[in-house]
Amino acid sequence: MPAADNMNQWFGTLFIHKGYYRNAVFKFQMVIPADYPNRRPVVQFLSDMWHPLVDQQGFLALQYQFPQWRPHRDYLFHVLHFVKAIFKKCFLDTIQEKQALNKEAFRIYRQENKIFGKLAQQRAQLSITDSSLYDNFPANNPIKFTSLSEEEFSDLKQKMMNSVSSIGIPSSSSLVAENHSMLLESLKTRVTD
């Protein structure tokens, strides 16, 4: 989503569901150069990141996927797809040391995979702490997370339950409503923890 004050600065949030970084919520920004599409954009993670292709300042090695940026053949959606793909094991397996910006993360991934998994999970857990989720940095980031009060949560839960019943789910499908309820309880736990 572009910043309101700068159409060349976009913000995004990744929700990782599987793999080493499961349950992570990673925020990032993509800066599009003024002469785009002639030059590739720059992607920087705003969340604390520990990954072989991400340096200490959070910059992603786009040159790994786009060694030569090809105007009118490489597009922003390709970059976004790449940002999402870097967290998959099948992708991590393809990284070579010379391409890694974080040599330590690369070495640990290759030599001590269980430790890599624990360190990746640390970053994932850090990404869902209140300070990571609710501190809106930078200020022009239009994607903002807010905590729900108990009352707001109950209202939202009721609306979701009503929407399930209003679409005419047969009683034999009460499992769907039960799953909605479990999902909401899970969200509540994450929000209040």
pLDDT at 159: 87
pTM for this model (two decimals): 0.78
Give the whole-angstrom CA distance, residue 55 versus residue 102: 5
Tens-place pLDDT, residues 23-77: 999 999 999 999 999 999 999 999 999 999 999 999 999 999 999 999 999 999 9
Q: 79-115: string of b/e by CB count within 10 Å (b at 16+)?
A: bbebbeebbeeebbeebeeeebbbeebbebbeeeeee
CA distances (Å), origin 2, targets 74, 107, 142, 158, 177: 19, 36, 8, 32, 36
| pLDDT-based confidence at residue 84 (cuts at 50, 70, 90) | very high
Q: Please state whether beta strands 42-45 and 25-31 pair in parallel, antiparallel, or not at all (unpaired).
A: antiparallel
H-helix or E-strand containing 13? strand 6-15
Give the CA angle between residues 152, 186, 133 to the nearest 5°.
70
